[in-house]
Structure 1
């Protein structure tokens, strides 16, 4: 019964979708309209200065963009020492689950998926935003049907990077991190293209291009 479910603001939480060290993502329904959304809950007490800067970038970018291959941000509110991002809910899950279920995909499917992710990355480039954590878990599918729309999500490590500037913060997921990040070098928006290439490899083969459980092990495998 709905009365037994926790509520946050105008939303009833239905289940937990995932999360990390400072955030949790919930599936939720609007208590009046019944609209299904994803609520990203960010614990304010766990926000470092760097994560706060990334959150500001995420909110600024998503609130100004409406594109089919970028996750939609509908609203933002604060409650219970947390900031809640009201996001578009994607019924098809993420690309990581898709690969687990389907194994390697046909080239025509990989090409279609790459075009969609590339279209989203083009929007990021136009706004001088680097994502820095592109991976199958952060690519969502609009539906479980045969022709899903892919959407880039989770901009928790994103930042504004103006032309000719370089970033140096080490962040992301080892399997998809560009060599310059793994080597603690300064980098630009090309690191997102490296991640895109790693995703393409995984789509075509059913497994990531590198092995290892840590960034050091992945870097060593990359050198072979």
Structure 2
């Protein structure tokens, strides 16, 4: 059974969430929209067809401390540092598209080549009238904030183009492929040390997201990639299309994620926080250990949804190590008892030698996971 991707529209927001006052920690959709309209008008006035807002993250980034994170002002960076408006090139002037990786009605992911340098990048392009600009503002906000406080395990935004009926986010290319593709190449047989390296990097990435006050909400195999081929130490968390800031109650009222990975509290419309991403990592941990998902793939969508919402998962019986079981079950526990990423990293699993689990992975059939850009039913 394919995984189902959830990305519900704003009409599912509760009236209470709509009335909830917002803590302003990032640029609002109105502010981004006003910049968008200004440059659209400027382009027409100057009679220049290929003029757009563009952003280039080429400046050296400094290390930050907790006080800098708390006082981080996205608005000032957005208006003075990130965006340049003088004679900037349009995306199609600066980049040549080589091939389309994924595509749906709203956007497409492409491999593109920079005309001047021939360096390859990855771009997420929203073009035409099939998308609503206000719906992708949170994704823009999240990527801008993360680009100013980069982390080795988080994909980095390196370019942004906004024009009438066109938005393009440009990222560094991930030549090593997805975690799912890595597992396929390994025939789903990972050594214990490989699993530890992968898990450590994901958890370190989540620690950084929590410092940035960001919840990813769609952690899964397809959203974990590697910058370098056959180098599991080059792991990156990607795709912030479902991400939200912790204090954005309006956006948090929208159910978002993928069945089989999504935390039950999100699926049930309850309060949730950073620990919800830990549940998704627990689902990945189970796959890395056994090659099987928590919720049987042969179930119908509604049955998977019900089991997921009730946290009625089924652990593979091949997991017998008490240390591994303790960490896994804690990550999949009720929200109130679920540890955060920092606590998970301090678990004895990462410090004590665990029995080899390679034999557990043999002769196990790995479920076919759905491409997130293919058409899927929403609940």
TM-score bracket relative to the smaller structure: 0.7 to 0.9
Q: Compare 46-55 and 154-163 and name the one that shifted more.
A: 46-55
Match of 1:190 in 2: 275
Match of 2:243 in 1: 158
Counterpart-to-counterpart distance in 2, 1:135 and 1:127: 20
The structure having more radius of gyration, on CA atoms, is 2
Tell whether the 8 Å contact from 1:90 to 1:140 is kept in structure 2 after alignment. Answer: yes
After superposition, give the CA deviation of every residue in 1:174-215 in whole Å (9 maximum; x if it has no partner). 011011122232322211010011111111112322124526
In structure 2, do the counterparts of structure 1 residues 47 and 109 end up closer, same or farther at CA, with 3 Å as the change threshold? same
Counterpart pick for 1:200 among 285, 288, 294? 285
In structure 2, do the counterparts of structure 1 residues 142 and 161 end up closer, same or farther at CA, with 3 Å as the change threshold? same
In structure 2, do the counterparts of structure 1 residues 165 and 112 end up closer, same or farther at CA, with 3 Å as the change threshold? farther
Q: Identify which of structures 1 and 2 has the higher relative contact order when contacts are C-alpha pairs closer than 8 Å and 6+ apart.
A: 2
Counterpart pick for 2:160 among 45, 70, 76? 76
In structure 2, do the counterparts of structure 1 residues 163 and 15 end up closer, same or farther at CA, with 3 Å as the change threshold? closer
Counterpart-to-counterpart distance in 2, 1:127 and 1:93: 26
Match of 1:36 in 2: 120
Counterpart-to-counterpart distance in 2, 1:135 and 1:203: 12
Q: Compare 140-149 and 124-133 and name the one that shifted more.
A: 140-149
| TM-score, structure 2 as length reference | 0.53
Alpha-carbon offset, residue 99 of structure 1: 1.8
User: 1:24-173 counterparts in 2 under 5 A?
Assistant: 24-43=108-127, 45-48=129-132, 51-78=135-162, 81-102=165-186, 103-162=188-247, 167-173=252-258
Counterpart-to-counterpart distance in 2, 1:56 and 1:76: 9
Tell whether the 8 Å contact from 1:179 to 1:219 is kept in structure 2 after alignment. Answer: no
In structure 2, do the counterparts of structure 1 residues 167 and 62 end up closer, same or farther at CA, with 3 Å as the change threshold? same
In structure 2, do the counterparts of structure 1 residues 179 and 151 end up closer, same or farther at CA, with 3 Å as the change threshold? same
Ranges in structure 2 where 5+ consecutive residues have no aligned partner = 1-90, 314-379
In structure 2, do the counterparts of structure 1 residues 186 and 9 end up closer, same or farther at CA, with 3 Å as the change threshold? farther
Counterpart-to-counterpart distance in 1, 2:131 and 2:251: 23
Alpha-carbon offset, residue 86 of structure 1: 1.0
Q: Secondary structure at the match of 1:18?
A: strand
In structure 2, do the counterparts of structure 1 residues 21 and 192 end up closer, same or farther at CA, with 3 Å as the change threshold? farther
Alpha-carbon offset, residue 123 of structure 1: 0.8
Tell whether the 8 Å contact from 1:57 to 1:158 is kept in structure 2 after alignment. Answer: no
Size of the aligned set, in residue pairs, is 218
Counterpart-to-counterpart distance in 2, 1:143 and 1:58: 24
Counterpart-to-counterpart distance in 2, 1:23 and 1:49: 12
Counterpart-to-counterpart distance in 2, 1:104 and 1:178: 27
In structure 2, do the counterparts of structure 1 residues 91 and 25 end up closer, same or farther at CA, with 3 Å as the change threshold? same
Q: Secondary structure at the match of 1:172?
A: strand
Match of 1:10 in 2: 94
Q: Compare 189-198 and 43-52 and name the one that shifted more.
A: 43-52
Counterpart-to-counterpart distance in 2, 1:54 and 1:185: 21
Tell whether the 8 Å contact from 1:40 to 1:85 is kept in structure 2 after alignment. Answer: yes
Q: Secondary structure at the match of 1:175?
A: coil
Higher strand share: 1
In structure 2, do the counterparts of structure 1 residues 179 and 215 end up closer, same or farther at CA, with 3 Å as the change threshold? farther
Match of 1:220 in 2: 307
CA RMSD of aligned residues (A): 2.6
In structure 2, do the counterparts of structure 1 residues 110 and 19 end up closer, same or farther at CA, with 3 Å as the change threshold? farther
Ranges in structure 1 where 5+ consecutive residues have no aligned partner = 1-6
